[in-house]
């Protein structure tokens, strides 16, 4: 089983970094010994900005040599784990820029003549999204009308053919203590026992 973890936080010493460690610990203790690769968008210096001009057109993004290694990682992965904070009710601009540049037409999806929806080209993969926020658990559902899940699940994953998506939205995480410890253990146990069964 090939698992790609896309880590999007500027500090590896953060709670998100601890969640990355717990995810890896859970996955490496599984009897099926999955092949795990970690893509740290900040550490690799990923450029999230779209650059277009006469010699660089949006319709050719699926052939961009600069982003080819990232596309290859997504094609390699059978399971994809995203770990990121929620800032201003959404994932970081770095992750959204990654999505803009990598999930390109004719790579992640292709338009079909006469159809409102495209054909997703990343079918058969599974996704787990682990997000942290300062606000309370349920904040995104009650105050922002589930905007985070709508963005990630419907506007992105279903669009590119990924149907199996699980969310861990961990709220009230700045205080630390028992709540933080429980969240870390929950993630480790999920990947060790339940994930991708």
Q: Say what the pLDDT of residue 137 is.
A: 63
Contact between residue 83 and residue 20 where contact means Cβ atoms under 8 Å apart: yes
- Can you name the residues that pair with 144 across neighbouring β-strands? none
Q: Say what the pLDDT of residue 195 is.
A: 65
Mean pLDDT, 10 residues at a time, the chain of 197 residues: 96 94 95 94 95 77 89 97 91 95 93 83 95 69 64 88 92 76 91 74
The answer to whether the pTM exceeds 0.85 is: yes
Residue keyed to tokens 């803009």: 100
Q: Say what the pLDDT of residue 60 is.
A: 77
Which H, E and C letters describe 12-46, residue by residue? Answer: CCCHHHHHHHHHHHHHHCCCCCCEEEEEECCCCCC
Q: Say what the pLDDT of residue 76 is.
A: 98
Residue keyed to tokens 């859970």: 26
Report the C-alpha gap between 49 and 29 in whole angstroms.
37
Q: Say what the pLDDT of residue 75 is.
A: 97
| Structural domains in the chain (count) | 1
Strand bridging mode 35-40 / 109-110: unpaired
Q: Say what the pLDDT of residue 138 is.
A: 60
Q: Say what the pLDDT of residue 140 is.
A: 54
Structural domain of residue 113, as residue ranges? 2-194
CATH number at residue 83: 3.40.50.360
């Amino acid at each position: 089983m090939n698992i790609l973890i896309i880590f999007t936080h500027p500090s590896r010493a953060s709670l998100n970094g601890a969640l990355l460690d717990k995810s890896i610990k859970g996955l490496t203790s599984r009897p099926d010994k999955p092949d795990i690769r970690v893509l740290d968008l900040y550490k690799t210096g990923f450029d999230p900005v779209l650059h277009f001009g006469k010699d660089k057109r949006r319709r050719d993004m699926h052939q961009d040599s600069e982003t080819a290694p990232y596309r290859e990682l997504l094609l390699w992965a059978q399971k994809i784990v995203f770990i990121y904070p929620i800032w201003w009710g959404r994932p970081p601009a770095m992750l959204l820029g990654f999505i803009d540049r990598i999930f390109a037409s004719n790579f992640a999806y292709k338009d079909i003549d006469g159809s409102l929806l495209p054909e997703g080209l990343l079918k058969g993969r599974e996704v787990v999204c682990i997000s942290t926020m300062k606000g309370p658990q349920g904040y995104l559902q009650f105050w922002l009308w589930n905007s985070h899940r709508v963005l990630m699940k419907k506007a992105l994953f279903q669009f590119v053919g990924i149907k199996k998506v699980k969310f861990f939205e961990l709220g009230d995480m700045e205080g630390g203590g028992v709540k933080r410890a429980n969240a870390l253990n929950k993630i480790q146990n999920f990947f060790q026992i339940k994930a991708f069964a």
